[in-house]
Every structure is written in C-alpha cells, then in structure tokens.
Amino acid sequence: RKKGATNKAGHKAGGNRKDARHVRQVHGQQKISSFGYGDEKDEDNGSDDSSDEAAANKRKEAQEKVEKERLVEAIQMIKKYAESVPGGSIDSPPPGDDGDDSDIEYNSNSDDGSDGGTSDDRRCRMPKRDRRAYKPAKGSVQRELLEYIRDQVIADDPTLGLLNGRCWIAPESNPISKGLGCDARPDGFYLANTWVFLWIPHKQFSRLMPSKYPCIYCNSDQTQFHRYDWRPFTWWDRTIMYGTFANMVNTLQKIRFAMSHVAYIGEILHWQKNPPLRVMCSVPVPFSPFANMSGYCGVALTKNLVGEGLKQFMRIHEPYMQASFQGNVDKGGSADESHKLPKLITVTLEDGRKVKPYTSAYTIIGLNGLPNASIFKFTKSGDELVEFIPNWRDARVNAGQSKLLRWEGDNANTDTTIVHSTFVELIADVVPYIENSPLPRYSVNSDSFTYISTHVGCRRFALVLVSHINKVKMQVNYNGLIRVGFDTEFNAEGLLLLSISFEHGPGTLIHPYDWGTIFDEEMKKVLELECLLFIGVNIGNDCRLIYERFGVKILRMRELRRYCLLDDPSQRTSLQAMAATYLGVHVDKTLQRANWNVKPPLNDPMAEYAFQDAILPWKIDEQITMALTEGEAKLIYIGERGHNAGESTFWGTLYVGANKAIVQLTNIIAPGIKVPYNHRNWGRERITFGEAYTKNDAMGHLVVNTSQIHKRLESGQVPITRYMQNQSEQDGTAEPLETPQRTVVVEMSEQPDAVEPLVEGDDERIIRSRDKSDVWHELYNVPLEKGCPASPKIFQLLLRGTLAANEVEENNVQAVLVKRGIADFDEHFFFHREYWYKRVRMPPKNRSLASDNILAIRNILKNENPFQQYFTEDLDKYLQGWAKRCREGRYDELPDVEMYTHDGYDRDGLDLWLRNRGSKAENFHQKMKVGAGPHDMGVETAHYYQVLLTYLYLVNAGVRRCGSPDFAHTMIHLEDRIQSGILSIWGVLIHPNRVNISEFSPINFVCVGVGPLSFDSKYVKKGTPVSHIHGGVKFMAERMGLELPPMPPSSAAEFRMIKDFCEHHPQ
C-alpha cells in the first residue's frame, strides 16, 4: 500500500500497530516479548517497492541475527533447565555462556504486585539473596495476567462476575487447540495451568459484609482498605505427615509440569512441520525450569509451608475440637501414662540448645472409647494433676455427666488419691473387701482423743500438751526426745485433717474446716518444739502440707517406712503390714479413700480411722527401736563406691584409695561400738561410731575397705539394709541418739469375741470397688521368661481360671479354625489373642472363684513336675497379688456399666464385640507414637498434632463404638450446622444419637495438648510471658499461663549447680 493509505480497520500504512497487536488479552493471545528478548520490530514501513533486493537482504540479515541470538539464549535456558534437576547436565557447554549460575530471583517482596500503598512494616524481611522468590516476575505472562485481573477488580469490571460471587477464573483456552502462531513460545502452556482464585468479600458478598472489619490483632473496627495483592496457592485438605504429604504433592506438581513440557515439545514439532504463513523466528523458545518466576512459576510445597498450614488450620478449629473432648464424656474413665510421644518433643532454647521438656502424656478415655483428655506432663508425678483432675470434673459437670462411677488406671500412686478426693461417688456405695486375718482387729474409740474444730479448742489443747511435755521432761528416763505420731488427710485442694498422738499421752484430731491459713499460735509453738520427734508413714508429705497451709515447721521427723527396713529389709512397709509385724494386730483401711472434705463434726467411724493412723506410728516405732537396740549391735550399711580398676580417686573432697569406698553414717543406733572396718586415717587406733560422726572434717564419712565389707556380708554377720535418712528436711540437722527403753505393748480389744467378722458374705450384688484393673493386662504381664515353652499352657490355665468364655461363641471360632487346618487352639490363642477377644465374650468370673482358681493354679505350677522349672519367686508373688486383687473386686463388672457392644460380623459370619473396658488409653498412646514416626517435632507442632489426632480418634471411635453416623469425613462441625438448620427450619431432629457440639458451651479448660498444670509458686510465676523468649518456649509459656516455662537442665553450668548442691547437701 502507498504510504498514508488506510485499510478497512482505519490503520494507516506504515503506522505503529504494535500497541494494538500486543494488548494483553485474557484469551491466551501469545506474548512476543519474554525471557529477556526485545520485541521484534515491525518491518512493514509502508514501502511499495517489495522487489528491492537490498531491503530483502537487510531483512534476511536481521532475521538471521535474531535467530542466532535466540539460539544462544535458548541453549543457555536449556542448560539452566537441566541444572534445575538434581544431577542434571548437558553434553557440551553452550556458546556464549555468561557464567550466570542461576535464574532464581530473590527479594520478590520489593515488588509485591500491590496496587499502591505502603508495605506492612511488621513483616520481617530477609536480605535480598536469602529468600526464594515466590511471585511471578515483572514481564512474565502470569504477572501480566494477574495485573490485568487486578485492574478489572479495581474498575469493577462486570465481566468478572464479582457481584454474582464468582471466585475462580479458569484458563480461557487450551494452547494445543489454538496453536503457537507466528512465534514458538510456551506462554500459552504456562497460562493453561494458571487458575486464579478471587477473594474480595466486600464485593462478592456485599450484602453480608459489615461496613468495617475488625482487626485480627487489636479487634478495633477502625480499619481501612490497604491494597489488593496475590500469593501463590497450593490446595491441600488435612495434613498429618509433613514430609510425606509435601513430597506427594510436589511429585504430582512435577508430573503436571513434565506433561505440560511434553505437550509444548509436541506442539513445536508440529509447528516446524506445518509452519504458519508468517514466521517471526524459526528458533522456538525452550520451556522454563519449574521454579522460574519469569516462566512456569512453579512453587514447591515445603515442609515449613505445610506445617504453617496445619497451624493455621488448627488455630481455627482447635476450639471446636477441645469442646468435643469436653462434650463426649460418660460415666467411666480409663487412664494411662506413657512416654512414647513426649520423648519426641523438643524445644530450642535461646542459645540454640535443644531439650526435651516433657516426660509423659497422661490420657483419660471413657468407657465408650472416646478420649476425654490427653495432656503433656513434665514428670510422672501426680502433683501436676492436683488442679487438672478437679477442672476435668467441672468440665464433666458442665457436659451433664456429674458422676464418675468407674475408674481404671495403671498407676495408682499417680492419680488414685486425687481422683477419689475429687469424685466422692467412687466410694459412695462400695463395700470394700476385708482381708481374712487371724490377727485381732485394732480399734480406737472416740474417748481416746479430743476432736477439735475451732481455734479456741485448739488453744486450750495446746495448754494440755505443754503440761504433758513438762511432765515427760521431769522423768528420769527422759532422753531429750518425745515421740509424736502424726498423720494428715488431704485432697487436691490441700490439707483437710490433722491427727496428733503423743507417746503415752494425749491425742487430738484437728478439723480445720474454713480456717483458711490461720492457725492457733500457741499450738504452732508446741508443734515446732525441738524436743518432739514426729513419726509417721510418708511423714515428709504430711509435714509439707501443714507447712504450706499454716506455716508450721516441723523440726524433727522420722519416716517409719525406712526405719523398719533397718530391722528387716525384706518386709513390706505399709502401715497395715508394719502393724501386723510389730504389734500383731490387723488394721482396717476401708476408709483410706474416703472424702474428708466435709463440714464438722466428723462422724465417729471416720474420726476413729483418722486417729488410728496417728497412734499406730509411735507404737510401731517403739518396737522397732527395741529390736534394733537389743542384743548385738549392728552396723547400718549405706553404700559403696564400687570397683575402680585398682586406681585411687577422689570422692568429693575425700581421697579414697584403690578398692576402697566411702560410707556415710546418717543414723547411729549404738554410738559406743568400735568401727569394724579401717578408718579413713588408716591408723591402728579404731574409733567408735559416735566419734566417727562428730570428729574430724569428714563429719560422718568413713573410708572403708570394700573387700572387708563384702567378706562380712557374705558371712552373714552384717545385714544389708536400705538407706535411711533421719535428718530434718527443714534444718538439716541430724537426729540425736535415742536411749532404748521398754514400752507397754499395744492394747488389744478386750472382748475378742465381739470383734466383727473380717470376711463378709460374697454376694455378687455387693460392689467391692469402683477402681478397676485391666484383667487382660494381668494375663499379658505374667512374669515368665521370654520364649518359655510352657507359656501358652500357663496362659490358658490362668485364662480359664479368671474369665468365663461364652461357650457357643468359642465353639464357633474353633469350628472356623478347624476348617483352616488349625488344631492347637491354646497356641493359636496365645499368639492371636485379639482375634479371640473380638469374637468371644469373656466376662470375669466370680471374684472368690477367680481368686481360688489362681491360688490353685499357683499350687499346680509350684508342685507339678512339668511346670516346676518355670516357677519363680516373682511368679509366686505375682499370682498371690493377682488373687488378692480378685478378692478386692478389682475385675468385677459393675451393674450400671455395660461391658460389651455388638460390632457386626466378620467374613466367616462370627459375631464381633467391642470391649468397653481395658487398656484403651494405652492403645491410644501406641497409635500416637506410630503416627508421629521416629522424628523429633517442636512443641507447637506436637500440640497441634496431639489435638488433631486425638480428635480424629474421637470421631472414628464414635462411629465404631457409639453408633454415631459415619459422614465419611471429620469436619463434623459442618454436620452440626446441618443438623441445627434442619431442626430450626423443619422441626425435624436428624441423627438424635449424636452430640451436637456446636450447641454445647464448653468451659475454659484445655483437655488435650499443652495447657496449664499444677505449678508451685516457688519455682514458676504465673502471668504474661516475658518479652525475650520466642518460638517453642514462648508457645509453652502462653499455653500454660506462665512468665517462663520450666525446662530440664541441659547446660554445663546447670549440671554444675546441681552437682555443687548435692555435694553440700548430701542428705
């Protein structure tokens, strides 16, 4: 055309049509400028002299130059593509390599794709080359698409459909359908994988949105619109295993990337064979690497990204999950404590050291198999549950389940006392088993002590005690000490009752109900006298309780359980056992777990029971002291250094020669006896025990010859007894020597014929105990050597003796096994127990019958020839203890608790049963450990992992055990809303057998994960976390409501402090 002429569209010849040709269209129109290439110039200048040979040659040279440059750049891109794959390479170096080793872009936040405004100053920005780019780069086809859509959003373009609530914008075309056009570029293939999600609620859902949006940080509604922005998005649902899930998603993404690459290669081959009429450049542009932000824009799913996704998910849904744990309680509980998961939890301290803060996880599961609670604990001590168990009770009451009628645990020392003091109904209708004993029953009447419930009464009795103490001091045989029996009754809230009995003197039962922390000063002065030696069982805890509540500081104490071991190290140390051994009486412990948190006055049986625990200790102490001081004196062997390979060494500040040991004397029974072994000075002069305790700088330390000790012990001349600590915990001073004296024997009941019978009628309707043990645990834990050939037969004997198998179901199982060629049912049962337990109901036998059967089996194993070789002392003790627990009703079924629930049929048509008792909490811990794998996890991740998996366990157990509807997913809050909506609209209640948690109002109580425990104010401070902590430490502090969470010692300085303290405080 002539210059200046116009075409049908009105474009003049020789005009610049670039702008019109290169307007960005959403319909996948090919972009010519990409990957750093300049736009090709329009060669049409309007000249009509097309036959000009010079001009043609010029165009040809320019075309060849462009193609040569593109070829060089294409080879460079192919090299980068190959190097983007681990272990990838190409045959030869490409021409024109400029040494650029990476096309990865950094500091993408400097260009965040926003439409204006300032960046968020709170965001922590990394250095430019420290952070991977994750947004499309400027000039990339994805970036232009996003900018185009953003401009449409700002302009309220109706074609977007925002007013209709449109969220997704799909690719408009398939590049294979459209072809490559005049230039072979992969832009259309990049866009074919680009889906844009719009979230602009104030435009999409304007009728539902408020005019102001509250700030997520300060909750203020004075907010303003800031900007539109975009982020890469990878879709995932529920995440559990970080690495595995991320690898799976990344693998699928790489497969899709490879498929797109293959499609582009195939389109190029077709394009080269069938070129269009006009080809701008014959050299195609290679496909970019996966993570090129100017090309494909692939974003890999990292472990940290998935972890953060899980945390965001849990922050939203955890309140509902915690409410689910509170709302799904029943009338029973099974507790278990395990270290399986906590040993994998780590937290990083400020100096970079990693420590494992938790020791155990304490879990409670209901009779229906639904988890009620599962918390992390620093230790296995029950003290950490002092506040948790009462809070759990409050949660149960809030859920409408006020009574706990059945409790099963594996560690009575951890939680039994706290649980019984919290749930008094556990002993309300219980008639405990009383052991048959030939000994007379010890009893105390209410006339032998004074019951005090007022401050005035306490002050008056203090004067009586002062008078008694003065009289004792005036006696000829007074040795400087007065024995005082001491005991307390307490619950989770603290001290409730004090029992005090003076040796051959007055006794009192102090009931300080509603006293607060006020205690009579006169009585306090009496109890703090240095001449009083307080004696009791677990005396240290009793003294701690009275000190914490009233500030009474007991100066001298003796732990009776350790003292008795000096006389006989093999004896049992319970108060009941010691009373039988030294006093020859039987002590009834029926009210041991009674509820003592009652208003005065206390009824006579409870008062008499409480006081007997104070009068018995000093009577037993008399007999022990008499046994220790009569006849030949004994050396109390404490401990030895052990073998040291014939080398001398230091023990603290003392130098110890080869094959020598340090012995520390903590209690001197006979101070005048010569030390039987060499003294630390190794001289010929032998000193007495009393001198060894008070002389020299060693102060009670002896260096002795270990070979002499062993020789004497082997000859039986010196008994091996346990270590006994008889020093005051408050002042650190040793207890003075006591002069032995004869005492009056304990008074017996004067009318033995009137003593009530010790064994009651064995009526099955009588509930002996609501504390239950797992009978299957007893079968599993029989102490037989590993690989014992008699194990299957012994197991079967005990099984038949304690459980009553359903004969019909057992015969059906045996018939199925016979068809499979299995004839030895005992061996099959031993190795496939769960198979039998699920198909044959086996309720426990009558407690008396089960006990008799176990004792009969014990006699068979002990006396019959085939089993004698496997009968050991441990097995003997185990069977006797098991028989006693049977008599106590630890395995009986309760009339108000169902044991079995039908669970369908297996492939052989056999009935399947669910057991509503047993070690479900232990099974839960095993599943948690398996799900976590062998890798450590941070405390925040562990918390969310514990909450999430416990919730999944609850949902699945609800379907299997409770008949809850199976919705085939775990987002049950959606089903709650559906149920509530149908009821509100149509008045029809669907799924009436499930708990709608959305309509339940939980209390502020953390049932699962990291939450508040019972902390001692001497060691931690409650309040807002301090400002300098971060990470897992800060998370623990926030969850527990502490300024700083307690951490285990881990540094050399901390261990040095512990070592120094132990050296200066050996007691």
Structure confidence by residue, pLDDT tens digits, 1004-1041:
999 999 999 887 777 889 999 999 999 999 999 999 99
Q: Residue 848: phi, psi to the nearest 5?
A: -65, -40
Torsional sign, CA 210, 211, 216, 221: negative
pLDDT exceeding 70 applies to what percent of the chain? 75
Whether the CB-CB separation of 419 and 426 falls below 8 Å is answered with yes
Both tokens assigned to 630: 């009569």
pLDDT at position 950 over 90: yes
Mean pLDDT, the chain, whole residue set: 77
DSSP state of 580: I
Stronger pLDDT, 762 or 959, i.e. the higher one:
959
- pLDDT tens for 506-527 read 999 999 988 988 999 999 999 9
Stronger pLDDT, 818 or 410, i.e. the higher one:
818
User: Residue 480: what pLDDT?
Assistant: 84
**Confidence bin at 364 (pLDDT 50/70/90):** very high
Nearest of 1040, 777, 712, 807 to residue 920 by alpha carbon? 777
- pLDDT tens for 623-668 read 988 887 764 444 443 333 333 334 444 444 444 555 566 666 666 5
CA 921 to CA 409: how far, in whole Å? Answer: 9
- pLDDT tens for 808-862 read 999 999 999 999 999 999 889 888 988 998 999 998 888 889 999 999 999 999 9
pLDDT at position 118 over 50: no
CA 378 to CA 1015: how far, in whole Å? Answer: 11
Q: Residue 882: phi, psi to the nearest 5?
A: -65, -45
Torsional sign, CA 572, 494, 382, 408: positive
How distant, in Å, are the alpha carbons of 208, 354, 539, 944, 1027 from that of 349? 46, 6, 38, 20, 14
**Confidence bin at 48 (pLDDT 50/70/90):** low
Half-sphere exposure of 43 (CA within 13 A, CB side): 14
pLDDT at position 234 over 60: no
* Average pLDDT value for residue range 973-1000: 91
CA 325 to CA 1002: how far, in whole Å? Answer: 9
**Confidence bin at 362 (pLDDT 50/70/90):** very high
Half-sphere exposure of 389 (CA within 13 A, CB side): 24
pLDDT at position 760 over 70: no
The answer to which of 108-117, 132-141, 456-465 has the lowest mean pLDDT is 108-117
**Confidence bin at 751 (pLDDT 50/70/90):** very low
242-273 helix and 303-327 helix, angle to the nearest 10 degrees: 130
User: Residue 396: what pLDDT?
Assistant: 95
CB atoms within 10 A of CB 1058: 10
* Average pLDDT value for residue range 611-624: 92
Stronger pLDDT, 1015 or 177, i.e. the higher one:
177
* Average pLDDT value for residue range 92-115: 41
Instruction: Give the helix/strand (H/E) hosting 364.
Output: strand 360-365
**Confidence bin at 87 (pLDDT 50/70/90):** confident
CA 332 to CA 346: how far, in whole Å? Answer: 33
The answer to which of 342-356, 614-628, 649-663 has the lowest mean pLDDT is 649-663
Stronger pLDDT, 621 or 768, i.e. the higher one:
621
How distant, in Å, are the alpha carbons of 193, 233, 303, 969, 976 from that of 306? 22, 12, 5, 20, 28
User: Residue 169: what pLDDT?
Assistant: 93
The answer to which of 269-278, 486-495, 615-624, 722-731 has the lowest mean pLDDT is 722-731
Predicted TM-score (pTM) of the model is 0.67
* Average pLDDT value for residue range 231-252: 66
**Confidence bin at 417 (pLDDT 50/70/90):** confident
Nearest of 947, 807, 778, 957 to residue 879 by alpha carbon? 778
The answer to which of 211-215, 499-503, 590-594 has the lowest mean pLDDT is 590-594
The answer to which of 78-87, 548-557, 945-954 has the lowest mean pLDDT is 78-87
Helix intervals (H) in 531-655: 539-550, 560-563, 575-578, 604-629
**Confidence bin at 243 (pLDDT 50/70/90):** low
User: Residue 329: what pLDDT?
Assistant: 93
CA 262 to CA 792: how far, in whole Å? Answer: 63
Helix intervals (H) in 915-1001: 920-932, 939-961, 972-986
* Average pLDDT value for residue range 38-50: 45
Both tokens assigned to 395: 């949660």
User: Residue 900: what pLDDT?
Assistant: 82
* Residue 593 three-state SS: helix
User: Residue 456: what pLDDT?
Assistant: 92
User: Residue 771: what pLDDT?
Assistant: 80
CA 1057 to CA 1063: how far, in whole Å? Answer: 10
791-802 helix and 847-863 helix, angle to the nearest 10 degrees: 150
∠258-263-264 over CA atoms, to 5°? 95
Whether the CB-CB separation of 186 and 287 falls below 8 Å is answered with yes
Instruction: Give the helix/strand (H/E) hosting 502.
Output: strand 494-502
∠337-339-344 over CA atoms, to 5°? 145
CA 116 to CA 224: how far, in whole Å? Answer: 14
Whether the CB-CB separation of 836 and 829 falls below 8 Å is answered with yes
**Confidence bin at 99 (pLDDT 50/70/90):** very low
